Amino acid sequence: MIAAIKAEFRKLFTVRSTYIVTGLVLALVVFIAGYIEGWNLSAASLKDPSQFTSDVFGALNLSLFGAIIAILLVTHEYRYNTIMYTLTVSNSRNKVLLAKILAVSAYAICLTVVISVLSPLASSVGVHLHGHTLVPQTLHFWDVAWRSLFYGWAYGLAGLLLAVLIRAQVGAIAVLFLLPGLVESLLGQLLKSNSVYLPFSSLGQVINSTSGPTPNGHLAPGTAACIFLAYLVVGWIVAWVLFLKRDAN
């Protein structure tokens, strides 16, 4: 198992796309948090004691890119047919898939931690360079931490899930963009307030809802996390069975 994990990490960190996408994410975090949420911060927001929390959760929307890295990790194998090596050198497809999940989880969590630290840092630098001062910030550390880590990790695993199911690079990335944006928006028109139970709508509420009492039509972060987790579990059961049964091409 250790051998399979080691190989997956090496796959992840020996292609340019990992560095390009990660670099793009970090650049966007610095720009959005430093310029938009820092330099250009409104006077009202300067007095908001939860501005750092907003910075973190806002920047976490870039977790989408972590999902793209996860998709590339799998779909490159099928596109370049290295999957035949992967499945031949290992004596178990279960090990291969578990190793991919662990590698993507580790990457997604690290990316989330970096985003979560960098965004308030860039924001406060932007505010400071513009000559403003933020009011003292209140940060509910553990609340922000679990919601951030769950969101980043879950997005990564959702990307990996789509890749294992679809196996085609363009198809998986297209679905990743279309599912939360277009498909769930259209379904939302039908489902009205129940649309909060759709997969990516529920995942979004993990970071967008407030802790404590929730207004109608919104889920508490814990509930939203449990709902998305249920989707993930069901999706992964299907993906796992297909991975074991399907031809490797």
Partner 1 sequence: MITVEHISKRYKKKMAVDDLSFKVETGKVTGFLGPNGAGKSTTMRLMLGLDSGSGHTAFDGKKLHEYDQPSKVIGILLDAKSFHPTRTARQHLRILADAGGIDASRVDEALEMVGLSDVAKKGPGKFSLGMSQRLGIAAAILGKPKYLMLDEPANGLDPEGIAWLRDFLKNYADEGNAVFVSSHLLSEMSQMADNVVVIGKGKLIADTSMSDLIANSSHSGVLVRSPKLSQLEQVLVSNKATVVKSSDSLKVSGFTTDKIGKLAFDNGIPLYELSAQAASLEEAFLELTSGSEEYTAKAGDAK
- Residues of this chain that interact with partner 1 (CB under 8 A) are 3-4, 6-7, 10-11, 14-16, 76, 80-82, 84-92, 245-249
Sign of CA dihedral 185, 161, 142, 115: negative
Identity of the residue, 42 or 249, whose beta carbon is nearer to partner 1 in the bound complex:
249
CA dihedral of residues 218, 224, 230, 231 (deg, nearest 10): 70
Say if residue 190 is exposed, middle or buried (CB neighbours under 10 Å; 0-12, 13-18, 19+). Answer: exposed
Amino acid identity at 95:
K
Q: What is the DSSP string of 213-231?
A: S--TT---HHHHHHHHHHH
Residues 208, 176 contacting (CB under 8 angstroms) = no
Closest approach of partner 1 to the CB of residue 5, in Å? 9
Closest approach of partner 1 to the CB of residue 12, in Å? 10
Closest approach of partner 1 to the CB of residue 76, in Å? 6
Closest approach of partner 1 to the CB of residue 156, in Å? 20
Which stretch of DSSP H or E encloses residue 7?
A: helix 2-12
Identity of the residue, 12 or 56, whose beta carbon is nearer to partner 1 in the bound complex:
12
C-alpha span between 12 and 9 (Å, rounded) = 5
List Cα–Cα distances, 120 to 56, 123, 126, 217, 249, in angstroms. Answer: 6, 5, 10, 29, 44
Identity of the residue, 19 or 177, whose beta carbon is nearer to partner 1 in the bound complex:
19
Place of tokens 């929307």: 61
Q: Is 233 left (phi over 0), alpha (psi -120 to 50) or beta?
A: alpha
Identity of the residue, 158 or 160, whose beta carbon is nearer to partner 1 in the bound complex:
160
Residues 93, 40 contacting (CB under 8 angstroms) = no
Closest approach of partner 1 to the CB of residue 8, in Å? 8
Closest approach of partner 1 to the CB of residue 15, in Å? 6
Identity of the residue, 76 or 218, whose beta carbon is nearer to partner 1 in the bound complex:
76
Identity of the residue, 189 or 249, whose beta carbon is nearer to partner 1 in the bound complex:
249
